């Protein structure tokens, strides 16, 4: 028997490249356990394109693995601004004048020079120094006097010579006189200015002009003029401070926003669904400082997301919306000076609706027959055997969605304790304790008679304690487990071609349930209570929608004709 091909998936006569996602990286891929890339239905073409597809999938995983969201934003160099140039000129000008003042203060005063001269004369008069007999001794004796007497004159000549050299340099574009000072300023201010670049040469020219002006002031000091008034218009007191503010970590404000939201009953999943958004943004920026984020950055990021093939709705309603919410919160809390995402938008294409939003009766029956009659392919290979949780989800979740109008992930998070019997009525509780509920409130939904008749309650009675459709054992893992199962269920429905074009696997049931309820004359408020939709007016918050009111709607729903369910093994199952 031929060895099983690695990273290969074959279903219903079609082929895919497949790569498992490490557990630690699944949050980068919205909880997916594997990445796939379709290779078509021609085996020869699929075989030829398989290696390249695998390489692309591995590159995605490698890219995610190389990103460390827990790292603090690096103190990266920033782009130089006009304010930086103003400060550079003013700093270099004043530093040069301060150095001149210190140097003058260190030079010997006239009385010290006169005293040294008197000491020399006394040595000559006493015969201690005789140029005829001891010229070296005479040189040593006069050296200290000459150094003190000539220090000021030498320094003045040196400054005059440098001034002439700088004037020639500024005309020739020569920067070597000030390169060391420029390098120090660039390093101190963490500026992204590369030696030899146009920005470097422009900054060096400003330093040269500042030093020329400072040298002119020192020569005025030699003549007793100490007004230190600049004559070059670029040398002036900066109007704005260039002191860099401390960075604001994108990850920290995201986590702080989530923590605040959780106290209000929102984002009970810990922001898992939004984390990939901020991972994407931080990778695009190359840094994690929210203070450096600009509208231009966000527009470029948006355009890159669109160019990657992401839908406009996902970019708008998930990526941009998430960043806007977090930055707006940070702005309100005075953690940021502005919300740079406030006016960043992604236009959505005009929706073309070519059919009803929900499943038709014929389509619904097709899905439910495949679901209730589902049996996985039997195999002796342990790694190919489908989990009993996934098998159960494929059998029961579509039926539960059909008669509750719930989201698929709300059904896949159900636990044994969430199903109870009150008299002759079986009730299903959808609660945040089991994973997540969009509005944060639990809701009770009576089970339809057909759900009971087909054996769902018997399945629940026989099940072990805990989750019915995933393997997570602790509350902090419930949501991830439920979403992973919902994803696999959706994948199975798509592979079996049970989801019509224009219908979403989960929301197709929600739309159908609402449509059926209205046809039966049900109140929208009762339908909203069953499905977990918020009320539309203030009056909707008054009174309660009881189990009895919900049961009237549920009981009125007709049974589906599920005769001729074969229960044959699923040829598309792994």
| Beta strand pairing call for 14-20 and 34-40 | antiparallel
- Alpha-carbon 255 to chain mean position: 11
pLDDT attached to residue 148: 62
pLDDT attached to residue 1: 39
- Alpha-carbon 192 to chain mean position: 23
Q: Which residue has the higher pLDDT, 69 or 83?
A: 83
Q: Give the tens place of pLDDT for each residue, 375-393.
A: 887 777 776 788 899 999 9
What does the domain layout of the chain look like in residue ranges? 8-65, 82-222, 250-332, 361-556
CA distance 25 to 275: 12
- Alpha-carbon 322 to chain mean position: 10
CA distance 432 to 410: 9
CA-nearest of 156, 99, 562, 104 to 362 is 562
Taking residues 427-435, what's their average pLDDT?
A: 86
Listed in sequence order, the residues at least 6 apart from 316 whose beta carbon sits closer than 8 Å to its beta carbon are 345, 346, 347, 348
Tokens read off for 465: 């304690």
Tokens read off for 214: 């400072």
SS3 460: helix
pLDDT attached to residue 518: 92
pLDDT attached to residue 143: 59
Inform me whether the pLDDT recorded for 137 exceeds 90: no
Of the options 3.20.20.10, 1.10.443.10, 2.102.10.10, 3.40.50.360, the CATH number for the domain spanning 361-556: 1.10.443.10
pLDDT attached to residue 474: 87
pLDDT attached to residue 419: 94
CA-nearest of 415, 421, 409 to 547 is 421
Burial 471-508 (b: 16+ CB within 10 A, else e): ebeeeeebbbbbbbbbbbbbbbbebbebbeeebebbeb
Taking residues 42-53, what's their average pLDDT?
A: 83
Tokens read off for 505: 């696997």
**What predicted TM-score, i.e. pTM, was given to this entire model?**
0.52
Inform me whether the pLDDT recorded for 70 exceeds 60: no
CA distance 367 to 56: 33
Cα four-point dihedral sign 412, 416, 420, 426: positive
Q: Give the tens place of pLDDT for each residue, 171-227.
A: 888 988 999 899 888 887 778 888 888 889 999 999 999 999 999 998 988 888 887
pLDDT attached to residue 417: 94
Listed in sequence order, the residues at least 6 apart from 275 whose beta carbon sits closer than 8 Å to its beta carbon are 27, 69, 254
pLDDT attached to residue 81: 79
Confidence of residue 571 (pLDDT cuts 50, 70, 90): very low
pLDDT attached to residue 513: 92
Confidence of residue 365 (pLDDT cuts 50, 70, 90): very high
Q: Which region among 116-120, 124-128, 251-255, 345-349 has the lowest average model confidence (pLDDT)?
A: 124-128
Tokens read off for 491: 């994948």
Q: Give the tens place of pLDDT for each residue, 86-95.
A: 888 888 998 8
Max mean pLDDT range (36-50, 139-153, 463-477): 463-477
CA distance 335 to 290: 10
Taking residues 545-562, what's their average pLDDT?
A: 92
Angle, vertex CA 88, rays to CA 84 and CA 94, nearest 5: 145
CA distance 312 to 346: 7
Taking residues 498-507, what's their average pLDDT?
A: 84
CA distance 103 to 99: 6
Q: Which residue has the higher pLDDT, 474 or 384?
A: 474
Q: Which region among 141-155, 293-307, 336-350 has the lowest average model confidence (pLDDT)?
A: 141-155
Kindly write down the DSSP assignment for every residue of 58-97, as one continuous string: HHHHHHHHT--TTSPPP---B---HHHHHHHHHHHHHHHH
Q: Give the tens place of pLDDT for each residue, 260-284.
A: 988 887 776 778 889 999 999 999 9
Inform me whether the pLDDT recorded for 244 exceeds 60: no
CB 210 within 8 A of CB 232: yes
Instruction: Please state the three-class secondary structure of 469-529 as a single string.
Output: CCCCCCHHHHHHHHHHHHHHHHHHHHHCCCCCCCCCCCHHHHHHHHHHHHHCCCCHHHHHH
Taking residues 66-94, what's their average pLDDT?
A: 67
Confidence of residue 27 (pLDDT cuts 50, 70, 90): low
CA distance 131 to 299: 84
If residue 122 lies in a helix (H) or strand (E), which one and from where to where? helix 110-125
| Beta strand pairing call for 14-20 and 419-422 | unpaired
Q: If you average pLDDT over every residue of the chain, what do you get?
A: 83
Inform me whether the pLDDT recorded for 530 exceeds 70: yes
- Alpha-carbon 411 to chain mean position: 30
Inform me whether the pLDDT recorded for 303 exceeds 90: yes
Please provide residue 78's backbone torsions phi and psi, each rounded to the nearest 5 degrees: -115, 165
| Beta strand pairing call for 443-446 and 425-430 | antiparallel
pLDDT attached to residue 440: 66
């Amino acid at each position: 028997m031929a060895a099983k091909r690695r990273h290969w998936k074959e279903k219903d006569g079609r082929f895919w490249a497949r790569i498992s996602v490490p557990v630690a990286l699944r949050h980068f891929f919205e909880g997916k356990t594997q990445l796939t890339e379709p290779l078509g239905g021609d085996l020869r073409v699929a075989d030829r394109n398989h290696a390249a597809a695998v390489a692309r999938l591995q590159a995605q995983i490698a890219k995610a693995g190389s990103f460390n969201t827990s790292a603090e934003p690096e103190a990266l160099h920033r782009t130089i601004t006009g304010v930086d140039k103003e400060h550079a000129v003013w700093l270099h000008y004043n530093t040069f004048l301060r150095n001149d003042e210190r140097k003058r203060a260190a030079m010997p005063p006239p009385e010290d020079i006169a005293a040294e001269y008197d000491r020399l004369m006394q040595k000559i008069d006493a015969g201690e120094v005789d140029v005829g007999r001891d010229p070296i001794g005479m040189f040593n004796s006069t050296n200290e006097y000459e150094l003190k007497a000539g220090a000021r004159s030498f320094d003045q000549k040196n400054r005059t010579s440098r001034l002439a050299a700088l004037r020639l340099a500024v005309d020739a574009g020569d920067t070597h006189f000030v390169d060391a000072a420029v390098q120090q300023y660039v390093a101190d201010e963490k500026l992204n200015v590369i030696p030899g670049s146009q920005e470097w040469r422009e900054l060096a020219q400003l330093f040269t002009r500042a030093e020329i002006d400072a040298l002119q002031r020192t020569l005025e000091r030699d003549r007793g003029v100490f007004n230190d008034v600049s004559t070059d218009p670029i040398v002036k007191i900066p109007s704005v401070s260039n002191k860099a503010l401390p960075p604001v970590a994108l990850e920290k404000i995201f986590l702080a926003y989530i923590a605040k939201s959780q106290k209000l009953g929102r984002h009970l999943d810990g922001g898992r669904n939004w984390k990939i958004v901020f991972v994407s943004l931080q990778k695009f920026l190359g840094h994690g400082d929210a203070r450096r984020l600009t509208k231009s950055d966000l527009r470029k990021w948006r355009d890159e997301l669109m160019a990657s093939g992401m839908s406009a709705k996902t970019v708008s309603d998930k990526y941009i919306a998430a960043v806007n919410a977090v930055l707006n919160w940070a702005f309100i809390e005075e953690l940021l000076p502005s919300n740079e995402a406030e006016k960043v938008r992604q236009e959505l294409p005009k929706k073309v609706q070519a059919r009803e939003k929900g499943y038709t009766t014929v389509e619904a029956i097709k899905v439910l027959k495949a679901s209730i009659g589902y049996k996985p392919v039997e195999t002796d290979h342990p790694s190919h055997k489908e989990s009993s949780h996934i098998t159960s989800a494929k059998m029961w979740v579509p039926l539960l969605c059909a008669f509750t109008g719930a989201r698929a992930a709300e059904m896949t998070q159900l636990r044994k304790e969430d199903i109870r019997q009150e008299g002759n009525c079986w009730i299903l509780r959808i609660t945040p304790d089991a994973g997540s509920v969009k509005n944060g409130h639990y809701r009770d939904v009576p089970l339809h008679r057909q759900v009971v008749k087909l054996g769902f309650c018997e399945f629940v009675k026989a099940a072990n304690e805990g989750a019915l459709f995933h393997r997570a054992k602790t509350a902090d893992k419930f949501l991830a487990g439920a979403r992973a199962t919902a994803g696999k269920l959706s994948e199975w429905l798509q592979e079996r071609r049970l989801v019509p074009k224009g219908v979403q696997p989960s929301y197709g049931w929600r739309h159908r349930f609402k449509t059926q309820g209205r046809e039966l004359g049900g109140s929208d408020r009762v339908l909203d209570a069953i499905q977990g939709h918020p009320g539309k007016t203030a009056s909707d918050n008054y009174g309660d929608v009881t189990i009895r009111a919900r049961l009237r709607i549920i009981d009125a729903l007709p049974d589906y004709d599920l005769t001729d369910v074969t229960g044959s093994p699923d040829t598309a199952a792994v």
